[in-house]
A = this chain, B = another copy of it.
Amino acid sequence: MKWKPSSDSHLTFHEQIVDWMKFRIESGDWAVGTKIPTQRQLAIQFNVNRSTVQLALDELKADGLLQSKLGSGVFVTNISWNVLLNKTQPNWKKHIDSSIHRANDHTIQLINEYEQYNHIIRLGTGELSPELLPTKQLEQSLKEITLDAKSIGYSSPKGNERLRRVLCDYLKRRGIQSEPENILIVSGALQALQLIAIGLLEEGSVIFHEEPSYLSSIHPFQSAGMRMHTVMRNHQKLAENLKVFKRKRQSIFYCVPTLNNPTGVNWLLEEKKNLYNICKELQIPIIEDDVYHELLFDHTLPTLKSLDKSGQVLYLGSVSKTLSPGLRIGWIVAPSPVVERLADIKMQTDYGSSALSQEIVAHWISTGLYENHLKNLREQLKNRAAFIENILENQFRKIATWNKSEGGFYIWLRFNKPIVNKALFLNLLNQNILINPGYIYHSGDSHHIRLSYAYASLAEIKEGLHALLLLCNHE
């Protein structure tokens, strides 16, 4: 489907390529500063030899339209643009640089980019492997679903009513009492964080969290002008710490007390009670991000929300880690005024989540398909955890430590030496191995890698860990 030079043309391949690229630059699709694809990628797209691509690029460089930067690729240049083409176009770079939302960290951008390619071994991906996703069952359930006009129209602000009722029932098993009016359907738990940031907090608010933290790898709060403040739940002076920073500002406490991302840790009941009581006294709302709960291997644990008798806890869930991240369905359980406020903002942001996805999730939970699938999924994840722990035990015991997994996706591997830096990340990427280094969850961390046994195949895990080991021994 992509453009290719044609053998019917009266121009040579390399001339056609030059014209095509000029058109892309002139039209602004390749604006000044754009990094163009590599020679190899272009040769594949055009179905020509690399030498033909090289010829075309050389010509455009001679024209001053392209420029190589050593080691980082070929870029559309600045001068050429105005000089040669005598065109003006919006200065997009300036627009982007001065706009409100923070860019992703460069390591995370690379992760997002390379996760698209099939040849990459993904040792850290927080996502179910294709073989763990119930693809065929989902396809089957599409055949069973009946749609009415309501289910494909604009959604009501809080989301599909049936799904909200189904969720109330479902969450009861986890000790959470709610009514449909306390539930807001969102496009994944990440969107919930985004809505909370812009809908419940003023600029300059303080977000308390423990590091390492999933929140350090994304920026919904930071981009909304909030200040992150790291605390430790077991610190003797936790209450005092919270009090000092809270003083004149609004604040909220974010936590993942069950199967934490990235550490995999479960909080003790005592820790939950303690935090809840402190926050209640100080009137600091708590966000309990509980997207991994279903994946506890052996037994369920009480949620913070189940302790909550005062509407203190905003509880987040999602089917991304259990059923399909592509559905983009999550939920917030909260007091009605909060739900109403966030629903109002969601309507202003995207007019609700995919109605189709909501139908599917309601179908899966209400028919028990979901529960059955989870049983099987936990079994398989447990086997995968054992597999990776076995390799670690045999090969990494001398250089690293870790805890046995109690569920979810992750092992938080700690190297004795501080070897986990961007160089290691790039070095592995060069070997087509993608890791999630600890520093994206805790700036400055150079000891940890978040391993995931959820995504890669067992063979890939083995190969990837082997390459990692070689590199580590080499350091």
Residues of A at under 8 Å CB distance from B? 1-3, 23-24, 26-31, 33-34, 87-96, 98-104, 109, 112-113, 115-116, 127-131, 133, 135-136, 138-139, 142-143, 145-157, 165, 168-169, 177-182, 187-188, 190-191, 194, 197-203, 218-220, 223-225, 250, 280-281, 283-285, 308-312, 320, 324-328, 335-338, 341, 344-345, 347-357, 360
Q: How far is the CA of A133 from the CA of B356 in the complex (A)?
A: 14
Shortest Cβ distance from A85 into B: residue: B310
Task: Give the shortest distance, in Å, between A187 (CB) and chain B (any CB).
Answer: 5
Partner of A326, one of B101, B200, B356: B356
Tell whether A127 pairs with B153 under 8 Å between CB atoms, given A198-B101, A201-B100, A311-B90.
Answer: yes
Assess whether B154 is in contact with A350, with CB atoms less than 8 Å apart. no
Assess whether A153 is in contact with B325, with CB atoms less than 8 Å apart. yes
Assess whether B143 is in contact with A335, with CB atoms less than 8 Å apart. no
Assess whether A146 is in contact with B139, with CB atoms less than 8 Å apart. yes
Assess whether B33 is in contact with A337, with CB atoms less than 8 Å apart. yes
Assess whether A130 is in contact with B154, with CB atoms less than 8 Å apart. no
Apart from A29-B178, A354-B356: 6 A-B pairs, beta carbons within 8 A: A90-B283, A92-B337, A101-B198, A151-B326, A152-B326, A350-B350
Of the candidates A150, A154, A250, A312, the one having the most CB atoms from chain B within 10 angstroms of its own CB is A154
Assess whether A311 is in contact with B356, with CB atoms less than 8 Å apart. no
Q: How far is the CA of A357 from the CA of B116 in the complex (A)?
A: 20
Q: How far is the CA of A327 from the CA of B107 in the complex (A)?
A: 32
Shortest Cβ distance from A32 into B: residue: B337
Assess whether B351 is in contact with A200, with CB atoms less than 8 Å apart. no
Assess whether B327 is in contact with A198, with CB atoms less than 8 Å apart. no
Assess whether A147 is in contact with B165, with CB atoms less than 8 Å apart. no
Q: How far is the CA of A130 from the CA of B150 in the complex (A)?
A: 7
Of the candidates A3, A182, A285, A350, the one having the most CB atoms from chain B within 10 angstroms of its own CB is A350
Assess whether A180 is in contact with B2, with CB atoms less than 8 Å apart. yes
Shortest Cβ distance from A164 into B: residue: B1
Assess whether B156 is in contact with A135, with CB atoms less than 8 Å apart. no
Q: Which residues of B contact A356 (CB under 8 A)?
A: 142, 326-327, 354, 356-357, 360
Assess whether A182 is in contact with B336, with CB atoms less than 8 Å apart. no
Q: How far is the CA of A344 from the CA of B219 in the complex (A)?
A: 11
Q: How far is the CA of A375 from the CA of B235 in the complex (A)?
A: 67
Assess whether B112 is in contact with A135, with CB atoms less than 8 Å apart. no
Q: Which residues of B contact A347 (CB under 8 A)?
A: 104, 112
Shortest Cβ distance from A224 into B: residue: B100
Q: Which residues of B contact A285 (CB under 8 A)?
A: 90, 95
Partner of A31, one of B102, B148, B311, B320: B311
Tell whether A354 pairs with B336 under 8 Å between CB atoms, given A104-B347, A202-B100.
Answer: no
Tell whether A24 pairs with B112 under 8 Å between CB atoms, given A200-B95, A311-B31, A336-B29.
Answer: no
Assess whether B152 is in contact with A135, with CB atoms less than 8 Å apart. yes
Q: List 14 A-B contacts (CB under 8 A).
A: A2-B179, A28-B311, A29-B179, A90-B312, A99-B201, A112-B157, A115-B154, A133-B152, A142-B145, A151-B326, A153-B326, A155-B326, A219-B348, A328-B352
Assess whether B89 is in contact with A310, with CB atoms less than 8 Å apart. yes
Q: Which residues of B contact A149 (CB under 8 A)?
A: 129-131, 133, 135
Q: Which residues of B contact A30 (CB under 8 A)?
A: 335-336
Task: Give the shortest distance, in Å, between A92 (CB) and chain B (any CB).
Answer: 5
Tell whether A348 pairs with B218 under 8 Å between CB atoms, given A153-B127, A354-B328.
Answer: yes
Assess whether B133 is in contact with A153, with CB atoms less than 8 Å apart. yes
Assess whether A311 is in contact with B89, with CB atoms less than 8 Å apart. yes
Q: How far is the CA of A149 from the CA of B325 in the complex (A)?
A: 11
Shortest Cβ distance from A91 into B: residue: B283
Assess whether A310 is in contact with B99, with CB atoms less than 8 Å apart. no
Of the candidates A91, A188, A197, the one having the most CB atoms from chain B within 10 angstroms of its own CB is A188
Tell whether A187 pairs with B28 under 8 Å between CB atoms, given A101-B345, A198-B223, A356-B357.
Answer: no
Task: Give the shortest distance, in Å, between A295 (CB) and chain B (any CB).
Answer: 17
Tell whether A26 pairs with B309 under 8 Å between CB atoms, given A198-B99, A337-B96.
Answer: yes
Assess whether B310 is in contact with A101, with CB atoms less than 8 Å apart. no
